[in-house]
Amino acid sequence: MSGNLQWGGRFQSAPDPALIAFGSSLEEDLALAAFDVQCSRAHVLALRGGKIIAQNQADELIAALDHIAAEIESGEFAAFARNSGAEDIHGAIDVRVRELTPAGAYLHAGRSRNDQVATTLLLYAADRAEKGKQVAARIIDRLLLYAEAERKEGTLLAGTTHWQPAQPVLLAFYLGAVAEGFMRDMHRFAEAASKAKEFCPLGSGALAGSTLPLDRKVACAALGFRQPTRNALDAIGNRDGALDVAHAFVRAAANASRMSEELIVWCAPAFSYARLGDEASTGSSLMPQKRNPDPFELVRGTAADLSGRYAGAVASIAAIGFSYHRDLQVTKSIIIGIVERGLAALDAFERALSHVTFNRARMNALADANFTVATDVADALIANGVSARDAHASVGAAVMRAEEEGRTLDATDLQRVAEEASLSGLDAPLDAKASVLAKKTFGSTHPDEVERALGTLRREIEAAS
């Protein structure tokens, strides 16, 4: 097994296979395979650019790497890597290159797995951040389709705080609120993708740079980075770019989790605000009648898991000094886990969301139940010169009386609070529709404001794609 390690010349005994197995990162590294090949191609250019290898060697190396890229693409490379006896993907690809061409023995000149893993992880992270951006855009598009339809319908919703009925809003306003969060996620993904490709660590060697005249600029350009890293010591141990991408996934998953939580409740029969189609529901092995919103629960659970993993990743890096320490293999594994699970959760969220239907009649019916217009009545008093304190107390007392009498606020309540304030009468919204139409502020739930905000989101998403 130790035969295919990338080191060993100065060792007298073979390593304990159990410890090599413990130290293997091969399984999680498989996600990085294609990026490591890109990285190796760029290193060939750096070697050739510095005249460290001959042109025919460069050609042979590139041909071997192209061959391996095809094996990765077809899926057959994974089995080879697992049988290769290598500790990680870098080693496995090195074994395969050396199998394919004698020039393979020259590939690792001036290079360390340390600069290789730093570079490969950034390429991977940038690629996945792009994918995160795309799935965030799909989620926004889905939310906007729903919001635009519900805006036309004028569907009302009892907006809540603490899950208690608070004020009437449009369902489209709620959906727009969720879309705003995903729009921030989309920009966060785009920024993280861009920042990951700012500085190229390749050519930093183990920690100090190289005595070989590697052409770092050509490697950097080939990989699509904007400039080579300025300090090899920093470049080797820095994981900020990949952590930012992981963070973007943690945050987007948290946003998906928040809406999931509400949809889970909305789909409960006691609420009956929404229904999740059979395509996205699961049944019970015991209770024949059950229909459960599992995908949303899994998204919620995954978001919690990812935020815990992120804390672990930061802790793993905070503990170490500069350059490379093997802890960074753990950091890498956590980052890949966050990114892959995050991407899967966002994709599942978008799919499950596409199977939600809203119960408009039920939402409309409950939008003004439980005195959700009380604030508007108090506002009407304030607009007539009453202090906020007096208005609050007077409407609070009106709510208490109406509740005791088992009715909603009505014209008699308006008359009474008006008289208490020495006004001849009071004009205030008494139902949910009148409430949203009475809103006056920029960004409110007034239908015109909702339409404007949705239009802005729509244009932003179109500009980004």
> Which residues are near ligand ARG by CB under 6 A?
25, 87-88, 113-114, 117, 324, 326, 328-329, 332
CB of 97 to ligand ARG, least distance (A): 17
CB of 93 to ligand ARG, least distance (A): 12
CB atoms within 10 A of CB 37: 26
Element (H, E) at 14: none
The catalytic residues are 162, 284
Backbone phi, psi, residue 169, to 5°: -135, 170
Give 115 or 413: the residue with its C-beta nearer to ligand ARG.
115
Buried b (16+ CB within 10 A) or exposed e, 8-22: eeeeeeebeeeebee
Any bridge partners for residue 276, and if so which?
A: 356
Give 202 or 377: the residue with its C-beta nearer to ligand ARG.
202
Give 241 or 295: the residue with its C-beta nearer to ligand ARG.
241
CB of 29 to ligand ARG, least distance (A): 7
CB of 206 to ligand ARG, least distance (A): 7
Give 322 or 425: the residue with its C-beta nearer to ligand ARG.
322
233 by DSSP, 3-state: which? helix
From residue 185, alpha-carbon distances to 133, 136, 240, 244, 261 in Å are 8, 7, 18, 12, 18
Q: Which residue from 112, 118, 135 is spatially nearest to 335, judged by alpha carbons? A: 118
Buried b (16+ CB within 10 A) or exposed e, 204-214: bbebebbeeeb
- Given a contact cutoff of 8 angstroms between Cβ atoms, the answer to whether 90 and 117 are in contact is yes
Q: What is the DSSP letter of 292?
A: B
Sort strands 199-200 and 227-228 into parallel, antiparallel or unpaired: parallel
CB of 87 to ligand ARG, least distance (A): 6
Give 23 or 308: the residue with its C-beta nearer to ligand ARG.
23
* Residue 90: both structure tokens together: 């870098």
Give 6 or 134: the residue with its C-beta nearer to ligand ARG.
6
CB of 53 to ligand ARG, least distance (A): 23
430 by DSSP, 3-state: which? coil
Give 113 or 446: the residue with its C-beta nearer to ligand ARG.
113
C-alpha span between 447 and 156 (Å, rounded): 11
Any bridge partners for residue 167, and if so which?
A: 159
- Write down the number of H helices and E strands in the chain: 19, 6
Residues in contact with 318: Cβ distance below 8 Å, sequence separation at least 6, in sequence order: none
CB of 23 to ligand ARG, least distance (A): 7
* Helix pair 33-49, 89-100: axis angle to 10 deg: 60
- The 3-state DSSP composition of the chain as helix, strand, coil percent (nearest 5) reads 65, 5, 25
- First-to-last alpha carbon distance for the chain, in angstroms, is 48
C-alpha span between 332 and 220 (Å, rounded): 22
CB of 108 to ligand ARG, least distance (A): 12
- Given a contact cutoff of 8 angstroms between Cβ atoms, the answer to whether 35 and 127 are in contact is yes
CB of 354 to ligand ARG, least distance (A): 38
Q: What is the DSSP letter of 104?
A: G
Query: Residue type for 165, please?
Result: P
Residues in contact with 150: Cβ distance below 8 Å, sequence separation at least 6, in sequence order: 170, 171, 172, 175, 358, 360
Give 104 or 237: the residue with its C-beta nearer to ligand ARG.
237
Give 197 or 332: the residue with its C-beta nearer to ligand ARG.
332
* Residue 277: both structure tokens together: 């189609």
